[in-house]
Structure 1
């Protein structure tokens, strides 16, 4: 693993990952006690960056800080078209190509770093699309599971030609401003980023693409929808349809996070949400251990 950037506040440092010739930047945070129990790979949404998972407006908004305090390593990756890769991929990539690129980067990571019991994917919004495709394509060997927020199977609003950081998009992305600590929007300059054109163009194809590959996901999955989630349908019927798509997953969990907007990890509810994420990681670790102890006949039944 190659250090590519100076240290970031809070014991977090910048690194670079080689993805078959494409250089991705990332933030690395390690627990104070080695070795780490597992490594959580965090994938940000459209128009954001890896800093989304290390919020600076309030300590409770840093997933990196909480996860490392509980013994997990975290690598928050700037997805293809963001961070260092923006020069190589100025137009970004669609979901399928991102899954390929990120899969190569994570294999690079696993070959050069102790990942404990394995890799787990935490993903937000467009990052959730890439994470689900990574799982379906089995681009990362021995993936523990994935936790997705701000992403579903069916849009609740027409995509159109909306400006990603325009007024209407701000409502969709943030919801009521009272949900966020003071200073969140002053600090957001270090979090937001331009949305690559190929990513925008690919968004409209998501419902059909997801329906085509969702059945190939073979690891536990958890979805969280914020109370003020306006991008995605998440009523009982929509959630049932979402779950039915993931017919090959051994477990599908759906949650709703109260007092939260789409950018759930930057709000006052971030700590509660992040603790639930880490609880699900614990459950996935236990599931993996139980499968390793199971007989072949028992494994066939799971």
Structure 2
């Protein structure tokens, strides 16, 4: 093998060092996208690849020994920015052909055609930028959302953005621990994309610097300072827009492009910041009720519901240190403890006195009203040997329809399935089904598992017992249970079905799970500090990874879904990218009920293509039938996209088919 240049950055983040063409093709394909790799002299071939996640993007360096040619197998749906450190390469895309010498750069835009020819010992540093990351950055600084940018392939020698690419790589190398904090990675990504948009010629460059949308961007900054200074007074959006000298519509667009949220969402977040400061003061001096009074709301319920889960627990600890109101009476926090375990303030359940070893389901009914629907909800508390499992449900459906139980994914509680206008529960009610969305262990009001038991298999064991209790309470004459699940909830549903529970499981409907994650996702999950607590993705990363491009989802739905966000245990994050891909075939082979499997076209957490879809479906060797498909026009959180109603009706149709064919 020819000696390769040793001067590569990111050396702590090795992904590949090999002389085997097939291994290099497979690993590099996971880092970037599926491609064909050829070497003019295979005996002289060698490759090294290093890669690390920065935000939702991937930063990498690579070198080939000997001449090599890369040809794309699938259309690229991302941008590649590339700087040649040594050697040289020829690039051919939909825009034409270009020679890139040492010290020069190029930008490859999404397209059908890609061919790269590397001279011997060509070394490069590059970044893979998801299309949605570039589009959102353009929207932050431009006049209107971009509908797909096309950059010039060639880069002038004096362009500044290649220096930012070098800076990103050298910054990663300066971290002594070898672990890049997520915040630092997101900032490097922002710097790189912004410099690329401003310095590199593209087909939206003129519009980028034209007046109009930038007024909303500036106005959002002015109003954000006003709100941050004092978020409590009831400042009307119309008044804030007038203060900034723009229309309300321009201001709202400015907030979405600059902060990734609506004006009211930003106000709510600032109030939570103020609440955090109040509640983290000296113990015993501030309670949730005090915060509610400061916020000018009549009940502390909304305050409790709005606080992040760790802060709700902090509020409980503070309240617990206050003396009781009078002798012989419980302190106020005791009266509100069960309420605080639920994240939706309308769902209030009195504290249960049922012993831990019994398993009846306790429910109360409340009515939730939105602009698009008015339906009854019941709250659920189930007792298992491992503790309490909570959830929300609808009223009874038709007796001949199965009971539908929904299991949410990581980073959300049961509210994931109950977003106004995109609610599986509402669609179920209209179609005559009873739907119950459970909080998995450690989410919502459900008790967490001990640290050593945070596995998908153990969660499935607990939920098996909980659903058995639910069936005893609500089963009646129904034909059985169909489990609908999303993301990590789907991985747990596979383990659940593999247990072959004693209650009548009719089928499982899985979505948001696959068998292989992109390299930047794996790196990002590994980049979380191992001694850290639960993780909550920042809003921009949720938008980039969990939702499809503009036109597939309404930003109002993305904002509304944030009410269901919950911290994600690190153990779940690591099992889904490390353990699950290599072990799922074992529980899948033990599933003996029908399977519906859906993978979203724009899922940012999984590699999506027909090959991966078929491979996952083939693992269910004992299932009587498997329906598998790629759902176009949606991202990972498929339930919140514009086609959610059609998707939910398809899940319910599957449930009805399972009941009819049992």
2:449 maps to 89
Partner of 2:27: none
2:425 equivalent among 64, 77, 83: 64
Alignment of 1:222 onto 2:610: no
Q: Which has the higher contact order (CA 8 A, sep 6+)?
A: 1
Q: CA–CA distance in 1 between the matches of 2:560 and 2:614?
A: 37
Separation in 1 of the partners of 2:464 and 2:657?
23
- CA shift at 1:277, angstroms? 0.7
Q: Deviations over 1:147-171 (max 9, x none)?
A: 1111122223442344651344531
Q: Deviations over 1:70-105 (max 9, x none)?
A: 21111100111101125x437582100110010010
2:391 to 6, 13, 26: 26
1:238 aligns with 2:612: yes
> Following the alignment from structure 1 to structure 2, what is the Cα–Cα distance between the partners of residues 138 and 132?
10
TM-score (norm 2): 0.41
Size of the alignment, in residue pairs? 283
The whole-number CA distance in structure 2 between the counterparts of 1:232 and 1:165 is: 17
1:78 partnered with 2:439: yes
Tell me the distance in 2 between the aligned counterparts of 1:285 and 1:240: 25
Q: Distance in 2 between matches of 1:229 and 1:39?
A: 28
Instruction: For 1:123-142, list aligned pairs within 5 A.
Output: 123-142=485-504
- CA–CA distance in structure 2, aligned partners of residues 140 and 43 of structure 1: 19
**Is 2:637 the partner of 1:263?**
yes
Counterpart CA distance in 2 for 1:184 and 1:82 is: 21
**Is it true that 1:275 corresponds to 2:649 in the alignment?**
yes
| Structure 2 unpaired stretches of 5+ | 1-360, 370-374, 526-534
C-alpha separation between the residues in 2 aligned to 1:35 and 1:243?
A: 31
Counterpart check, 1:155 vs 2:517: yes
RMSD over aligned CA atoms reads 2.1
Aligned to 1:110: 471
Structure whose CA Rg is larger: 2
Q: Alignment partner of 2:399: what SS? A: coil
User: Which residue of 2 is the match for residue 146 of structure 1?
Assistant: 508
Is contact 2:483-2:507 (8 Å) kept? yes
What TM-score does the superposition give when structure 1 sets the normalisation length?
Answer: 0.86
Partners of 1:89 and 1:170 lie apart in 2 by: 29
- Cα separation, 2, equivalents of 1:214 and 1:186: 35
Once the 2 structures are TM-superposed, how far is the Cα of residue 238 of structure 1 from its aligned partner? Answer: 1.5
Q: Where does structure 1 lack aligned partners over 5 or more consecutive residues?
A: 289-302
Question: Residues 275 and 34 from structure 1, CA distance in 2 versus in 1: closer, same or farther, beyond 3 angstroms?
Answer: closer
More off after superposition, 131-140 vs 37-46: 131-140
- The answer to whether residue 573 in structure 2 is matched with residue 213 in structure 1 is no
Report if the CA contact (8 A) 1:20-1:105 is conserved: no
Shift of the alpha carbon at 1:134? 0.4
- On the 8 A contact 1:99/1:139 being kept in 2, the answer is no
Q: 2 CA distance for matches of 1:259 and 1:236?
A: 16
Contact 1:90 1:196 in 2 (8 A): no
Matched, 1:252 2:630: no
**Cα pair 1:106 1:140 within 8 Å, conserved:** no
Q: Which residue of 1 aligns with 2:406?
A: 42
2:557 paired residue number: 184
Which residue does 1:100 correspond to in 2?
A: 461
Question: Contact 1:135 / 1:217 at 8 angstroms: preserved in 2?
Answer: yes
Q: Deviations over 1:17-75 (max 9, x none)?
A: 112241111011124x653621100011110111111112x2xx111111122211111
Closer/same/farther in 2, CA of residues 121 and 107 from structure 1, 3 Å limit: same
Change (3 A) 1:52 1:194: same
CA contact (8 A) 2:601 2:608 kept: no
- For 2:609 and 2:560, the matched residues in 1 are separated by 32
**Counterpart Cα distance in 2 of 1:76 and 1:140:** 20
CA contact (8 A) 1:81 1:90 kept: no
**CA positional deviation for 1:5:** 8.2
User: Could you tell me how far apart the structure 2 residues matched to 1:159 and 1:5 are?
Assistant: 42
